[in-house]
Amino acid sequence: SPFAVNVMDTNRVMAFGKGLGSVPVNIPTSFSILTQNAGAGELRCSIKGPDEHSVSCTITKVDSISFEVTYVPEFVGEYQIQVFYNETEADGSPYVAHSFDVNKVEILEFPSSAIVGSSTYFTIDATDSGSGNLEIAISRNQHNIPNHVTNEGGARFRVKFTPEESGVHMVIVKFNGIDIHGSFINLFYKINYL
């Protein structure tokens, strides 16, 4: 007598999205899963944060072949994300996301004044912030001032710039595209030059 067999192909289960990349701590993030042509099945995710702690996640069915998985990384570090379809791990799983904390980036030794034509320095310490990219922009009257960044090791960076004229200079530092000490408002460091 014939028996029905459910055939699935976990190679056709795909996960993608911001939540599988570089993500800020304490902010909900998500990624999408497509199960097109994978056959009928049940989706499950397991997320382990730094020190192997379990992270809860919510799976929301968007339509018959797509799902959204939402989670909140609480600590800086690496997150292992496993995707299972009918208890079989999907191709490409586990995925690795890295979380960062922009509030742990510190600006040290910031000058209160400087001399036109003389090199000026400050230090950025991103030791405890997780992995990411620093962006540094220095300007005077919307004119960019060149700066040079030296890696001092251990995620500490020394920034050098030379003011070309007197007046207020604006320094903007971003970590992974987020302004240091303010995700939604720009905090500018202003210096009066004599």
Mean predicted lDDT score pLDDT of the chain: 84
Taking only the tens place, the pLDDT of each residue in 104-124 is 998 888 777 777 888 889 899
Q: Which residues pair with 169 in a beta bridge?
A: 191
Q: Does 181 score more than 70 pLDDT?
A: no
What distance in Å separates the CA atoms of residue 91 and residue 95, rounded to the nearest whole number? 10
Residue 11 is predicted with a pLDDT of 53
Q: Is the pLDDT of residue 185 over 50?
A: no
The pLDDT confidence band at residue 166, using thresholds 50, 70 and 90, is confident
pLDDT mean over 46-62: 94
Q: How confident is the model at residue 38 (pLDDT cuts 50, 70, 90)?
A: low
Indicate whether 169 pLDDT > 90.
Answer: no
State the Cα–Cα distance between residues 64 and 155, nearest whole angstrom.
45
**Residue that has been written with the tokens 């979380």 in this structure:** 99
Q: Looking at this protein, which amino acid is placed at residue 22?
A: S
Q: If you average pLDDT over each of 39-43, 51-55, 107-111, 189-193, which comes out highest?
A: 51-55
Whether residue 184 has pLDDT greater than 80: no
Taking residues 63-73, what's their average pLDDT? Answer: 93
> Which pLDDT value is given to residue 108?
84
Whether the per-residue pLDDT at 172 is higher than 90: the answer is: no
Whether the Cβ atoms of residue 49 and residue 73 lie closer than 8 Å to each other: yes
Report the range of poorest mean pLDDT among 73-87, 142-156, 159-173: 159-173
**Domains of the chain with bracketed CATH:** 10-100 (2.60.40.10), 102-193 (2.60.40.10)
Comparing 140 with 55, the larger pLDDT belongs to 55
